[in-house]
């Protein structure tokens, strides 16, 4: 038994030194090729993943801003004013909406969506404060002190607004009108290339006129509405 096992092992052959070296060289070439392919492919993968993540974050920010704008209320600054508290420009919009949040009680908030400076770069920020009647003769910025900033959009992206009434004619500003805009367009651009992103959207405003216009005795005439449209056209 021992002799047969010895004879069988004598006929078995292993790798020679040359075969081992050749195998190691081939393995090294294979690993080098895989590393080269990975080095070329991985940056493209990371860039694609980064674009997807940014698009998702921008989409979430636009969805939140769209919900805010859709909830804008027709609220006059005080009893002596019939026009709503709404100030819309190309880079910011200020409006009144129902208070929302985990710690918010019943009431109204003044909300501003617009650009601000953070560490030398432009960011889109949401700020708010509790609504209280405003005095005549003073500007909105003098009376409303906004706080609780929340950054919604960072560089290299910038956000701009446009406004349209029922006529669907877009304007770069909406100030001093008798009604709220029917739609607000949110356009996101790459600051470097000025390319408009496909995630840009339009937010419909659910309320454009005061609540008393729906009452039978409401003082809301076609003349006042047409005058508001005329004033808006001059803005």
Residues whose CB falls within 8 Å of the CB of residue 20, separated by 6 or more in sequence, listed in order: none
Residues whose CB falls within 8 Å of the CB of residue 216, separated by 6 or more in sequence, listed in order: none
Q: Which two tokens stand for residue 145?
A: 């002190």
The whole-number pLDDT of residue 231 equals 44
The whole-number pLDDT of residue 131 equals 93
The whole-number pLDDT of residue 13 equals 61
Q: State the CB neighbour count (10 A cutoff) for residue 57.
A: 15
Rounded to whole angstroms, how far apart are CA atoms 19 and 81? 95
Q: Do you find a cis peptide bond into 156, omega within 30 degrees of 0?
A: yes
Residues of the chain with pLDDT under 70: 1-15, 41-42, 45-46, 48, 211-235
Q: pTM for the whole thing?
A: 0.71
Q: Which two tokens stand for residue 24?
A: 């190691």
């Amino acid at each position: 038994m021992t002799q047969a096992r010895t004879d069988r092992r004598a006929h078995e052959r292993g790798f020679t030194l040359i075969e081992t070296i050749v195998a190691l060289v081939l393995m090294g070439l294979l690993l080098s090729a895989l590393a080269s392919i990975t080095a070329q492919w991985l940056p493209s993968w990371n860039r694609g993943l980064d674009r997807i993540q940014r698009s998702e974050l921008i989409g979430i920010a636009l969805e939140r801003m769209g919900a805010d704008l859709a909830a804008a209320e027709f609220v006059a600054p005080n009893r002596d004013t019939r026009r709503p508290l709404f100030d819309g420009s190309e880079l910011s919009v200020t409006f009144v909406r129902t208070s929302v949040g985990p710690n918010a009680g019943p009431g109204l908030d003044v909300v501003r969506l617009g650009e601000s400076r953070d560490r030398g770069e432009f960011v889109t920020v949401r700020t708010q404060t509790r609504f209280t009647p405003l005095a005549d003769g003073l500007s909105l910025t003098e009376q409303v002190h906004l706080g609780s900033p929340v950054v919604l959009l960072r560089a290299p992206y910038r956000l701009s607004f446009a406004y349209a009434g029922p006529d669907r004619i877009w304007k770069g500003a909406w100030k001093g009108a008798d009604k709220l805009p029917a739609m607000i367009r949110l356009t996101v651009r790459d600051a470097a290339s000025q390319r408009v992103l496909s995630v840009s959207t339009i937010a419909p405003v659910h309320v454009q006129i005061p609540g008393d216009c729906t009452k039978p005795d409401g003082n809301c005439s076609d003349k006042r509405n047409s005058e508001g449209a005329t004033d808006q056209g001059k803005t």
